[in-house]
A and B are shown apart, each in its own frame.
Chain A
């Protein structure tokens, strides 16, 4: 499908937020889902890129949908997107992939976001604030939320205000100490877990591979359910190129290998932390 850019805000330090109007698209998604997006530029770059959904709302004049994507310029695809102005077109496919799920009876959500991994996590916080859960189940008692935001520097801490507005307690860690506590976001998570009485907690995280791995270790050490939004180079987003392999433990004892691959686009991008092989 085609979309039309209506705004492309420069948030500074390479971060942008683009708003795209798409006719004929239902403004409905689950936190964690993504779109494949491509800026037409001949055959180079060739492939679309995956972008986590930050927000989605009804489009202008109540028609179609408006999609907000938060992104960081890291290569040619994102640089082209950053150069688009209102009125220009993009090619889109989505929403794709699975979503974070909030189990009934969870009393506290621990939301961990590293750098540009923030969109699906803040989408989850906003959905919980609006509906009391991840959006799937019927409304339950709204769980408490604690958000842990990390990045290299102050400029890499995004959406703190949005998390607060959604009712989350926010803690920040930066590697250079320019905002919040100096150190890693996973240190904040561990500190939080050490000082708190037992509650029915669950962890939801998105960020760099190393951060996710550490989050998975912390979750395992505390016996907490944990879902991770993973990333892998994707060619198509719909499971046909089979490029975005994530190694997982295979539960079925069918004589085959104990570690196999699931596809980030089709089987994910959200994976249970204890199934991923690091």
Chain B
């Protein structure tokens, strides 16, 4: 059998395979360069950029939990100026689509960031972080359907690249927010961001991270993420990027079957810098094993009898 085709089309972006890095898990790519060749991925998603640099939250910022981790980094980043000047030129050398993840404190800030990135060579799409649980105001957008619609609309008005809101799982019904994002003009949706959680050290009676609450990621959240991708894929006719605990090619295939067109690998990269590449190779191996010639045929191909 010939090699399976892994290429997918995501809102007009041509990806040579469906695997991306997740925002906040590959720095600005240069940190990973000694360990993994990110140019072999479908796309790279950059850590959240804000208008001004942010120093982030006090330590401790992370804690391990069963099959997962909590984090509360607080969007530490160099700010849009330094990103454009110092980081983007290095990212462009990868020659893969770059999704720039942005976060603002207001609708105007999101639009301002999008304007600054408009027409900049190397910026293939914008991923909107409307769901960071670790900064004041960050969750409000992602949990409020009308704010979500407003932010997406404001960014769409000034942006010519695909706009991809990243949805929060910390809602009662994610399809409501997904619909609102679609109404606002979203070209695709990323889901899910981290689940709010708490970890406590019973001996010291202290929280394990400084801000008490943090975002849960890793294999522990995979079933929740799969459920949400599946729900949204049946509700909103937009391409989806599945995120949540993906460590292997088979994990990624589960997300494709649930309705995702592409996937992001996040926490697994902390465990092994080559994890995104291994997921890519794992998808190829799955396709070869099951006689799948084109990975696109897996998207939404879940065979559920009990619906």
Q: Do A and B bind each other?
A: yes
> Would you call A232 an interface residue if the criterion is a C-beta within 8 Å of the partner chain's C-beta atoms?
yes
Contact B55 A45 (CB under 8 A): no
Per-residue A-contact encoding for B261-289, CB less than 8 Å = 1, 0 else? 00000010111110000000000000000
Residues of B within 8 Å of A43, CB to CB, are: 67, 218-220, 247
Contact A261 B56 (CB under 8 A): yes
> Would you call A240 an interface residue if the criterion is a C-beta within 8 Å of the partner chain's C-beta atoms?
yes
Contact for B31 among A91, A233, A240, CB less than 8 A = A240
Per-residue A-contact encoding for B48-67, CB less than 8 Å = 1, 0 else? 00000101111111111011
Binding site for B on A (CB under 8 A): 38, 42-48, 91, 93, 232-236, 238-247, 256-257, 259-261, 266
> Would you call B26 an interface residue if the criterion is a C-beta within 8 Å of the partner chain's C-beta atoms?
yes
Contact A266 B31 (CB under 8 A): yes
Contact B218 A233 (CB under 8 A): no
Q: Could you tell me which residues of chain B, from 67 to 83, have a CB within 8 Å of some CB in chain A?
A: 67-69, 71, 73, 76
Question: In the bound complex, how far is the Cα of B219 from the Cα of A245, in angstroms?
Answer: 24
> Would you call B25 an interface residue if the criterion is a C-beta within 8 Å of the partner chain's C-beta atoms?
yes
Chain A at the B interface: SS class: loop
Question: In the bound complex, how far is the Cα of B30 from the Cα of A39, in angstroms?
Answer: 27
Taking the closest CB of chain B, its distance from the CB of A36, in whole angstroms, is 9
Taking the closest CB of chain A, its distance from the CB of B170, in whole angstroms, is 21
Taking the closest CB of chain A, its distance from the CB of B306, in whole angstroms, is 27
Contact for A261 among B55, B71, B220, CB less than 8 A = B55
Q: Looking across the interface, which residue of chain B has its beta carbon closest to that of A243? A: B62
Question: In the bound complex, how far is the Cα of B31 from the Cα of A194, in angstroms?
Answer: 45
Taking the closest CB of chain A, its distance from the CB of B44, in whole angstroms, is 12
Contact for A238 among B62, B64, B273, CB less than 8 A = B273
Q: Looking across the interface, which residue of chain B has its beta carbon closest to that of A75? A: B64
Contact B59 A246 (CB under 8 A): yes
Q: Looking across the interface, which residue of chain B has its beta carbon closest to that of A1? A: B35
**CB-CB under 8 A for A233 and B73, given A43-B67, A43-B218, A240-B270:** no
Residues of A within 8 Å of B272, CB to CB, are: 91
Question: In the bound complex, how far is the Cα of B71 from the Cα of A256, in angstroms?
Answer: 24
Contact A46 B31 (CB under 8 A): no
Contact A241 B218 (CB under 8 A): no
